[in-house]
Chains A and B, each alone.
Chain A
Amino acid sequence: MLIVAFHFAPVFYALFISLHKWSLIPERFVGLSNYVAVLRDEGFHQSLGVTIWYVLGTVPFAIGISLVLALMLFQPLAGRGIYRTIYFLPYVTSVVAAAVVWTWIYNPRYGVLNYVLTRLGLCDPQSPPQWLLEPRGVFELALSNFGVQPPAWAAGPSLALVAVTIMAVWNAIGFNMIVFLAGLGSIPKELQEAARIDGADEWKVFWHVTFPLLSPTTFFLFIVSTIRAFQAFNQIYVMTRGGPMGTTRTVTMYIFSRFYESHEVGYGAAVAIVLFLIILGFTLLQFRFASGRVVYQ
């Protein structure tokens, strides 16, 4: 009952709302015009671009790093319980608190990150990186060192977005690693031992035995992380509020601002439905890509 009332029926209600001009109160039925407006909306296009960069920046890195960590921790190392505790800690603590601290670390003037980079000679103390305040794209910044100005479409994600992404990877590693460790534990040891006896080196054992048998876990993580990344809100709300110049405004952040700050309820609902369809599309694509590549025992 609760599920139907609060999780299922609202989907249809959302569709209903999205077909109306609806600010604080429902005004009138407008058909698909909200959707037409969404597809033409520059603000939405920007937020979609931001979200896709964010997904591409977080998902593969968080999964790759945590797979390496899980493989290392799967060996009988001394103190691996302690490592596991440490790596999982960011996942347990709230994103809001972590975002508050990271904002301080990224602070261009007083932040510890720029201090360390300056001391290592990696950045110019006269014009240190502005991190969360930098709207320019990272490719643009990198090329500007050589005096090249790339076209706008090749500017890449803003440095602010990259900074948010790094924090998100830090936050997601623990969960992925724990799931990978559980996946590794469910692989029968005999198969790996058999490969070793046949003379396979460790790399071959990993690539031809462990990795394929781990593929259901990897696939699960890709699906779950992609869906989560498409819905990023908390750390962005705390760290940048979508700024500078909207370069970290994800779709969820955009929905929040249209619906909650500008009271455009119908329009916000339409954006949410479009986001849902995009997530659904990505998920189906991943399933398609995985079919035949994911091996079940």
Chain B
Amino acid sequence: MSAKRRLEGGFDIWIWIRRAAAHLVLMAGGVIMLFPFYWMLSTSLKTQAEAQALPPTLWPTSMQWGNFAEVFATVPMARYLLNSFLIAVLVTIGTLVTSSLAAHAFARIEFPGRNVIFGVFLATMMIPFEVILIPDFILMHRLGWYNTYAALIIPWCSSAFAIFLLRQTFMTIPFELFEASLLDGCSHLRYLVSVALPLAVPALVTVGIVSFLGSWNSLLWPLVVTDIPELRPVQVGLAYFSTEAGTKYHLAAAAATVSILPIVLLYLVAQRQFVEGIARTGLKT
């Protein structure tokens, strides 16, 4: 048996063949996964004629960096990116603050109806966004928040998933530590900031990444609650631009490249945090 031989430390040709096959499949798959990105970059640097040429060229014969300048000149791309960045950062900070406070309350403070309220919060995770889309839209109108940053940011500064994840993490911190801190005259807030949060960094990273990505990539909500270009986040801007650009695919590709660049750079720098953070969303806590 191959397994026995491997345990004895012998060389096993089957393992070698299996690994080679795995490499082959993974490489072929990797090419498919990467191709759209490569094609976007390549198209973004072609002239319109070359972008539509048959047979297509794999790489532009001459680099048209001007395409990017043209995109920035046609639509306020910089403004879109800034909007998205501002919204995503504030949503992330807001979510971290509200969910830490709520999670602490659910984990360590006894108050009447605690379990009922927690159950209600968990139930909101089951509700599809479509159901609350229309009432929230009307609510925004009633609050006078239509076409404001408030509408884009404030409703998303809370997340039942974040509260759940952080509560589970806070529960794992020994109760004695909490009692000792209170005896030493620590306030709840002080305990949270200097004891609980430093122990919950991985969960905070997960919440941060999920909120940031969710906010950066959202389309339907900003599409519905804003209709002026100044407020558009980059996804909405790109969706409109790609429609307006029509057959000018070299420009649409350039805009798409610009829109994903910040996230891709962030991902390449903080890969480990991204991958482990997302993996944690799937683990039973």
Contact = CB atoms under 8 A, between A and B. Distances in A.
A265 B127 contact: no
Interface in A92-150: 92-98, 100-105, 107, 110, 112, 115, 119
A269 B26 contact: no
Contacts of A174: 33
Contacts of A68: 25
Interface string A212-230: 0000110011001001001
A110 B54 contact: yes
Interface string A1-32: 01110111111011001000000000000000
Main secondary structure of the interface of A (DSSP, over half): helix
Nearest to A98: B36
B282 interface: yes
A227 B125 CA distance: 11
A273 B133 CA distance: 11
A95 B217 CA distance: 7
Given A92-B267, A173-B33, A272 B128 contact: yes
B273 to A, nearest CB: 12
Contacts of B220: 233-234, 237, 252, 256
Contact of B138 (A83, A202, A216, A265): A265
Contacts, number: 245
Contact of B278 (A86, A96, A178, A186): A178
B128 A230 contact: yes
Interface in B1-29: 1-4, 7, 18-19, 22-23, 25-26, 29
Contacts of B260: 93-94, 97
Contact of A97 (B124, B128, B259, B282): B259
Interface string B21-46: 01101100110111011011001000
Main secondary structure of the interface of B (DSSP, over half): helix
Interface string B241-285: 010000001001101110110011001100100110011111110
B138 A11 contact: no
Interface residues of B, number: 87
A276 B282 contact: no
Contacts of A110: 51-52, 54, 56, 249
Contacts of A102: 36
A35 to B, nearest CB: 14
A92 B213 contact: yes
B22 A77 contact: yes
Contact of B235 (A96, A101, A201, A272): A96
B264 A6 contact: no
Interface in B211-256: 213, 216-217, 219-220, 223-224, 234-235, 238-239, 242, 249, 252-253, 255-256
Given A94-B259, A178-B279, A86 B155 contact: no
Contact of B217 (A13, A96, A197, A221): A96
Given A10-B132, A88-B274, A97-B256, A237 B158 contact: no
Contacts of B179: none
A93 B264 contact: yes
Contacts of A208: none
Given A17-B135, A77-B23, A3 B124 contact: yes
B182 interface: no
A92 B37 CA distance: 12
A87 B30 contact: yes
Contact of B26 (A69, A90, A112, A238): A69
B138 A17 contact: yes
B22 A175 contact: no
Contacts of A17: 134-135, 138
Given A17-B138, A255-B133, A2 B155 contact: yes
Contacts of B259: 94, 96-97
Contacts of B22: 72, 75, 77
Given A10-B139, A13-B135, A98-B36, 7 more contacts: A83-B30, A93-B264, A100-B238, A105-B36, A105-B39, A216-B284, A275-B130
Interface of A: 2-4, 6-11, 13-14, 17, 68-69, 72-73, 75, 77, 83-98, 100-105, 107, 110, 112, 115, 119, 170, 173-175, 178-179, 181-183, 186, 196-197, 199-202, 216-217, 220-221, 224, 227, 230-231, 233-234, 237-238, 251-252, 255-256, 259-260, 265, 268-269, 272-273, 275-276, 279-280, 283
16 contacts: A2-B155, A6-B139, A8-B124, A10-B136, A13-B138, A75-B22, A86-B34, A88-B274, A104-B249, A104-B252, A107-B249, A186-B283, A231-B128, A272-B134, A273-B131, A276-B131
Task: Give me the 8 closest cross-chain CB pairs, A-B, nearest first.
Answer: A2-B158, A179-B282, A10-B135, A13-B135, A182-B279, A196-B3, A97-B256, A6-B155
